[in-house]
Amino acid sequence: MKPRTFQARNPLEALLLEQALLLARQLQKAADSAPDGQVLAEVEAAAVPAGRELTRLAVEAALQAQAEQAEKKGRRAAAAPAAASPPGPRGRPGATS
């Protein structure tokens, strides 16, 4: 297969590209080293936890990037609107007379 070049536009994409390539190599190694009749089981055993970890890393990186952007922008100071009346027991509106 002809080598391909990928370009990441941001750190999240770079992380995902690197991790996806690592996962592909791990799955290929698991398939190549699995005994006959066990290839599917071995590849699945490698893929499921690695896929979960890839997803966890992606979510973590996406949230971190969003948090950093929010910190750079800063939040506008504003008062929170007051509630019309305090809630009664169990979050229900207070009783009226």
Ranges under pLDDT 70 in the chain? 75-80, 85-97
Give me Rg for the CA atoms of the chain: 25
Q: What is the pLDDT of residues 17-30, one digit of tens each?
A: 999 999 999 999 99
Instruction: Give the three-class secondary structure for 7.
Output: coil
Q: Quick one: pLDDT at residue 45?
A: 95
Q: Quick one: pLDDT at residue 23?
A: 94
Cα–Cα distance measured from residue 25 to residue 32, given in angstroms and rounded to the nearest whole number: 10
Q: Quick one: pLDDT at residue 96?
A: 61
Q: Quick one: pLDDT at residue 9?
A: 94
Q: Quick one: pLDDT at residue 49?
A: 94
